[in-house]
A and B are shown apart, each in its own frame.
Chain A
Amino acid sequence: MIALLVAVPLAFAFVTVALPKLSKYIFPLVALFNLALLIGFVHPSQVIEVGKWPAAYGIVLLLDNVNYPFLIMVNLILLAVSISATFEEKIGTLLIVLTASINGLLLTGDFFNAYVFLEIISAVAYILSAQNKNSYAAFKYLIFGAVAGTLYLIGAVSMYVYSGTLNMAFSGYISAPEYAQIAGIFMLIAMLVELKVLPLGLWAPDVYSNGSTLTPVVLGSAITLAMFYFYSRVFFNVLGSVKPYLVYIIAIISIVLAQLAAMKQKTLGRALAYVAIAGASTVLAAFSAGAPGDEKIISASLVYLLNDVIALFVLFTVFGYLKGKGFKDNFVAGVAFSLTSISLIGFPLTTGFWAKLNLISALFEAGDKLLPIFILSSTILEAGYLIKWNVDLWYSEDENSEEYVPFGAQIVILLFALALVVFGFMPNLITDQTDKIASYVFDFSTYFDTILKGGM
């Protein structure tokens, strides 16, 4: 059943090649179908062995407690994108393929299968970055991303050479820890590129600021979520953390540099790109902080990730439509923009507030006093320039501009902004889910048993 999550979008993608005009309608339908399937019909844990090859010989697709919430969130975001973004018909096909491949990445339990899906996601991302005639930035991203992909391939093949299987669970079980570290380094570099950690994320500002309503939204929310899932799966569940201290240092430097760069920007799009980089780096730093296996930190960072992703969705959509003009005629967009910037900064009572509070409290409990300093200082900088952008946009003296936000987009961003506020009042709705994810993500034995059904 869960293979339908990948198969149905692919099938409909072929349909839209033949009937391009319908892609605008097929995409939301496909996303809706996925959501319905996830919420109504499948439950954790399920395993599908592709082609009926037993687990360690063949490819497995697995749905368990870790990727179930991620799947729901990603498909929800893609559904929202289908309603709120404006895109040409040809891109609709690509987006449906993207749905299929993100679902595939989230479901897979095999290193090489993950490589294939990663490359498909990257291919779609390269084309999406070329929207609005931003081909040069897309080309830079392509070169960089392709080299990163080959690094991942080397890492995946190294795991195969040692353990004789490409299955993540079995390979992680069999390999010696030192060997897994080396192979892990290659995979880590690839993921750091996608996760936009400076200095490996230097492609992000150019790509995210092309002003389209589609590119930064999809890249910044859906793909980032998928990458973080994959990171936690590989490094927490299967291989064990690779050099967490070094990643921690790089991520902290990235936070500082990104916030400083964001202060200087004159266009909102580039500033938001740096905000995205800083947010992703904060989550990565939190993932690498504390002792391995600290569930509270992971749970809080997942709340932070969720807040970051939703907030950036709204902010980039508003920027894409309004292109930096004021809010005087676009009241709904303005309210959504302000509410989400407040949540991003972390004022009470929004999701961002609980995220930062829980994160700092968990870090202190783990004995880490350094990262809270950086989180709080970067919040000060972020508060400064986000409020400045808010004030400039609300009180701008532009004449009536032609830019407006379409109705569908308005509904979506308003719902997301209100969701952030509602979760701020009732944080338990989210924290229960993330606690559950955090408790399962470190549980290698459950993962192993689920896949291999008792051993090989």
Chain B
Amino acid sequence: MQSLILYLGIGALVGYFLSKINKHLGPIVLFVLSIYALYVVWQMPTGTNEALFGFGDVLRFTALSKYLSIISLIVFASFGFFNIAWISKAKRPAAFNALSILTLLGTLGVFFSSHFIVLYIFWEIAVLASLFIVPMGKEESKKATVWYIVISSIGTYLFLYGIFMLYSKYSTFDIFEIGKYIQNETVGFKWAVVLLLLAAGIAKSGIFPLHVWLRNVHGNAPDTFSAVLSGQLVKMGSYLIALVLSVFPIANMFAEFYNGVNILSYVLIWLGNISILIGTLMAIKQNDMKMLIAYSTVANGGYILIGLATLHQVGYAGGLFHIINHALAATMIFLSFAAVVYRTGTTKIDELGGLIHRMPVTFVTYLVGIISLAGIPPTSGFISKWMIFQSLVSKGMFVTEMFVFIGSIGSFLYVFRPLAGVFLGQLKNKDKNVKEAPGVMQIPMIILTALTVLWGVFPQQVLVWITDVQKEFGMKSFEFEGTVLKTSMGYWDTWTVFVMFAVGFTIAAVIYILMPKGKKIPLEDQYTSGEFLHNYDLYHYATKFYVFLEREYEGHPSFEDWYLAIVNAMKGIGKFIDYLARRTASAYLFWTAVVLALIMWVRW
């Protein structure tokens, strides 16, 4: 592990200088490093402890580390490979490459550490590296950067305060040791510490109430980096939540509240519910395709949180599975968007259309991605959603079940909009000569698509990783046998379902090929009440797509506005101070007299 971190650090410098020579070399370095790291991590046995640069015993490779590192490395490998072609559009390629490698270093370091301060250091490195990449995107990304750093800092510094509260009690920073002792503390202390530690995870994975940064940051960051932000960095937050929930004996620490679910988990599940609601409803409104999927990350973060918080055999496994599903799906979607932007130059849905004719591979990637996000078999997305649903029903949490269901249906609504608006429909005049994405970009998209379908049909490998995590933390592990997934309420055989889908698909394909095809006519070749059409761009059904639904919640309160109002109030106080500072010396002396009087008064 230590050698991996060292290589990544050197790789960042090497990548920077190589990118100055030729910008395509930088992503190659990133790709090579991620493939090497993937190989190493895959082979590494869990449970090893290592030292880092002379500080003993701070790195530990748990099953959770292995699982999340593999996910991150898959995302980064695809990102790296994709960038080899995309980097020609980046604003500052050398810095971009170096900082991406540093981000990978930070996240892997977070996954490997077993010492709170080391975890904090790597966390901050990842935040810092991604912080300087974000403003390389669009114009509005500069303001987005400030949102990112402030909310991320709020989470991180609450976390730091919690670490120090623990340290002052136990004089140790080791995560696993603290987990053994914390059971015997007072209720207030337990609540405070756990909430403080979880705050960093909540801020990073974009759960309500710290979700406001996601839209602007993911939407405005450089296109391929949004894939890393959405597919991987928020998973760092989910890792922290999973770690805290499993290392600290939460079930014993907090009182039981509802049918076997303890009260902390209940609070977290409700935060997840609200995130799902907000994410889904806001996503339906968006016109910019990247901001739309950013909101879907909020909703999916809610799913993961709900899954993890149930601490139930099936639910926890479902939450972990959803991490990998959302990582793959978000990466696929953002990479396909990056390909679209690379060729057409815009991210607004109502300016695009009909790209299925020109960019079929991109279309298929996006399609499989949204099928996975919506949770439809035979993709892997279905399995995780099914597991979460099962565990919620088995605990009797029907209100949550309702929210999760709404989220699922809503997710199909909002992912359909870019599909229809960008890929289906009529091709706009200006996009007539758009070519498919370069081959280099297509390869990672195809590989990710294949992985999603593969793990949807044969989820054994992922389930082995997940059950290892559960066993290591002493939880009862999820049961599966071959392709049959078993829960207390029923079972699901992925192979059977896949065969059914495949048969149906084949029949439909055969029918399509044999039957005569319809005639293709361009849009201008029709009449409308006797008028000829000349400007057919107006007839593309992409604007105000869901206006009938948006009307229902039109006047909703906006959290971004609330946060901005707080900021403005603070600025108002600042303005008052500044006003005082611009006064004359007489005013200064007046204040001195006040302070002197105060000191004298307090003394007597």
Choose from A198, A347, A381, A388 the contact partner of B124 (Cβ within 8 Å): A347
Question: Do B574 and A202 touch across chains, with their CB atoms under 8 A apart?
Answer: no
Question: Do A261 and B574 touch across chains, with their CB atoms under 8 A apart?
Answer: yes
Q: What is the number of residues of chain B that contact chain A, defined by CB distance less than 8 Å? A: 50
Whether, in the assembled complex, B222 has its beta carbon less than 8 Å from a beta carbon of chain A, the answer is no
Known contacts A260-B571, A264-B578, A360-B164; A202 and B149 CB within 8 A of each other:
no
Whether, in the assembled complex, B160 has its beta carbon less than 8 Å from a beta carbon of chain A, the answer is yes
Whether, in the assembled complex, A342 has its beta carbon less than 8 Å from a beta carbon of chain B, the answer is yes
Question: Do B124 and A373 touch across chains, with their CB atoms under 8 A apart?
Answer: no
Known contacts A364-B164, A383-B153; A203 and B577 CB within 8 A of each other:
no
Determine, out of B233-241, B260-268, B510-518, B588-596, the stretch whose residues face the partner at the interface: B588-596
Once the chains are docked, how many angstroms separate the CA of A365 from the CA of B167?
9
Whether, in the assembled complex, A380 has its beta carbon less than 8 Å from a beta carbon of chain B, the answer is yes
Question: Do A379 and B592 touch across chains, with their CB atoms under 8 A apart?
Answer: no
Question: Do B577 and A257 touch across chains, with their CB atoms under 8 A apart?
Answer: yes
Enumerate chain A residues within 8 angstroms of B581, measured Cβ to Cβ.
Answer: 202-206, 261
Known contacts A199-B580, A206-B581; A379 and B164 CB within 8 A of each other:
no
Once the chains are docked, how many angstroms separate the CA of A200 from the CA of B125?
38
Choose from B146, B160, B580, B602 the contact partner of A388 (Cβ within 8 Å): B146
Known contacts A262-B574, A387-B131; A357 and B117 CB within 8 A of each other:
yes
Which residues in window 366-388 of A have CB below 8 A to B? 369, 372-373, 376-377, 379-381, 383-385, 387-388
Known contacts A347-B128, A380-B150, A388-B146; A264 and B168 CB within 8 A of each other:
no
Whether, in the assembled complex, A18 has its beta carbon less than 8 Å from a beta carbon of chain B, the answer is no
Determine, out of A138-146, A299-307, A410-418, the stretch whose residues face the partner at the interface: A138-146
**Distance from A414 Cβ to chain B, minimum over Cβ atoms (Å):** 17
**Distance from B306 Cβ to chain A, minimum over Cβ atoms (Å):** 28
Whether, in the assembled complex, B161 has its beta carbon less than 8 Å from a beta carbon of chain A, the answer is yes
Once the chains are docked, how many angstroms separate the CA of A143 from the CA of B587?
11
Enumerate chain A residues within 8 angstroms of B124, measured Cβ to Cβ.
Answer: 347-348, 353
Determine, out of A123-131, A224-232, A390-398, the stretch whose residues face the partner at the interface: A390-398
Once the chains are docked, how many angstroms separate the CA of A196 from the CA of B302?
47
Enumerate chain A residues within 8 angstroms of B161, measured Cβ to Cβ.
Answer: 372-373, 376
Whether, in the assembled complex, A445 has its beta carbon less than 8 Å from a beta carbon of chain B, the answer is no
Enumerate chain B residues within 8 angstroms of A388, measured Cβ to Cβ.
Answer: 142, 145-146
Known contacts A144-B585, A144-B589; A205 and B164 CB within 8 A of each other:
no
**Distance from A130 Cβ to chain B, minimum over Cβ atoms (Å):** 14
How many A residues are at the interface, by size bracket? 35 or more
Once the chains are docked, how many angstroms separate the CA of A181 from the CA of B594?
19
Once the chains are docked, how many angstroms separate the CA of A381 from the CA of B573?
14
Of chain A, the residue at the smallest CB distance from B146 is: A388
Enumerate chain A residues within 8 angstroms of B574, measured Cβ to Cβ.
Answer: 257, 260-265
Once the chains are docked, how many angstroms separate the CA of A385 from the CA of B602?
36
Contact with B along A235-267 (1 / 0, CB 8 A): 000000001001000100000011011111100
Whether, in the assembled complex, B521 has its beta carbon less than 8 Å from a beta carbon of chain A, the answer is no
Whether, in the assembled complex, B135 has its beta carbon less than 8 Å from a beta carbon of chain A, the answer is yes
Whether, in the assembled complex, B43 has its beta carbon less than 8 Å from a beta carbon of chain A, the answer is no
Contact with B along A288-317 (1 / 0, CB 8 A): 000000000000000000000000000000
The interface residues of chain B, by DSSP majority, are classed as helix
Enumerate chain B residues within 8 angstroms of A347, measured Cβ to Cβ.
Answer: 124-125, 128
Known contacts A264-B575, A348-B121; A202 and B587 CB within 8 A of each other:
yes
Enumerate chain A residues within 8 angstroms of B587, measured Cβ to Cβ.
Answer: 202
**Distance from A353 Cβ to chain B, minimum over Cβ atoms (Å):** 8
Enumerate chain B residues within 8 angstroms of A200, measured Cβ to Cβ.
Answer: 588, 591-592, 595
Question: Do A199 and B160 touch across chains, with their CB atoms under 8 A apart?
Answer: no
Once the chains are docked, how many angstroms separate the CA of A2 from the CA of B86?
64
Whether, in the assembled complex, A91 has its beta carbon less than 8 Å from a beta carbon of chain B, the answer is no
Choose from B135, B149, B158, B602 the contact partner of A383 (Cβ within 8 Å): B149
Question: Do A372 and B589 touch across chains, with their CB atoms under 8 A apart?
Answer: no
Whether, in the assembled complex, A174 has its beta carbon less than 8 Å from a beta carbon of chain B, the answer is no
Question: Do B570 and A394 touch across chains, with their CB atoms under 8 A apart?
Answer: no
Whether, in the assembled complex, B271 has its beta carbon less than 8 Å from a beta carbon of chain A, the answer is no
Known contacts A342-B128, A376-B161, A384-B149; A203 and B142 CB within 8 A of each other:
no
Whether, in the assembled complex, B584 has its beta carbon less than 8 Å from a beta carbon of chain A, the answer is yes
Enumerate chain B residues within 8 angstroms of A372, measured Cβ to Cβ.
Answer: 161, 164
**Distance from B86 Cβ to chain A, minimum over Cβ atoms (Å):** 20
Choose from B578, B592, B595 the contact partner of A205 (Cβ within 8 Å): B578
**Distance from B585 Cβ to chain A, minimum over Cβ atoms (Å):** 4
Once the chains are docked, how many angstroms separate the CA of A204 from the CA of B581?
8
Enumerate chain A residues within 8 angstroms of B150, measured Cβ to Cβ.
Answer: 380, 383-384
Whether, in the assembled complex, A185 has its beta carbon less than 8 Å from a beta carbon of chain B, the answer is yes
Known contacts A140-B588, A388-B146, A395-B142; A185 and B599 CB within 8 A of each other:
yes
Whether, in the assembled complex, A361 has its beta carbon less than 8 Å from a beta carbon of chain B, the answer is yes
**Distance from B309 Cβ to chain A, minimum over Cβ atoms (Å):** 26
Of chain B, the residue at the smallest CB distance from A258 is: B577
Once the chains are docked, how many angstroms separate the CA of A388 from the CA of B602?
41
Enumerate chain B residues within 8 angstroms of A325, measured Cβ to Cβ.
Answer: none
Once the chains are docked, how many angstroms separate the CA of A365 from the CA of B169?
9
Of chain B, the residue at the smallest CB distance from A202 is: B581
Once the chains are docked, how many angstroms separate the CA of A372 from the CA of B586?
35
Question: Do A361 and B164 touch across chains, with their CB atoms under 8 A apart?
Answer: yes
Question: Do A364 and B167 touch across chains, with their CB atoms under 8 A apart?
Answer: yes
Whether, in the assembled complex, B603 has its beta carbon less than 8 Å from a beta carbon of chain A, the answer is yes
Enumerate chain B residues within 8 angstroms of A391, measured Cβ to Cβ.
Answer: 135, 142, 145-146
**Distance from B284 Cβ to chain A, minimum over Cβ atoms (Å):** 31
Once the chains are docked, how many angstroms separate the CA of A272 from the CA of B582?
16
**Distance from A194 Cβ to chain B, minimum over Cβ atoms (Å):** 13
Question: Do B157 and A379 touch across chains, with their CB atoms under 8 A apart?
Answer: yes
User: What are 25 pairs between A and B in contact, CB < 8 Å?
Assistant: A139-B585, A143-B589, A185-B599, A202-B583, A202-B591, A205-B578, A206-B582, A243-B603, A257-B577, A260-B574, A262-B574, A264-B574, A265-B578, A270-B578, A342-B128, A348-B125, A357-B117, A361-B164, A380-B150, A380-B153, A385-B146, A387-B146, A388-B142, A391-B142, A391-B146
Given contacts A143-B589, A205-B578, A261-B573, 9 further A-B contacts (CB under 8 A): A185-B599, A189-B596, A206-B581, A246-B598, A264-B575, A376-B158, A383-B150, A387-B146, A388-B145
CB-based closest 3 A-B pairs: A264-B574, A143-B585, A261-B577
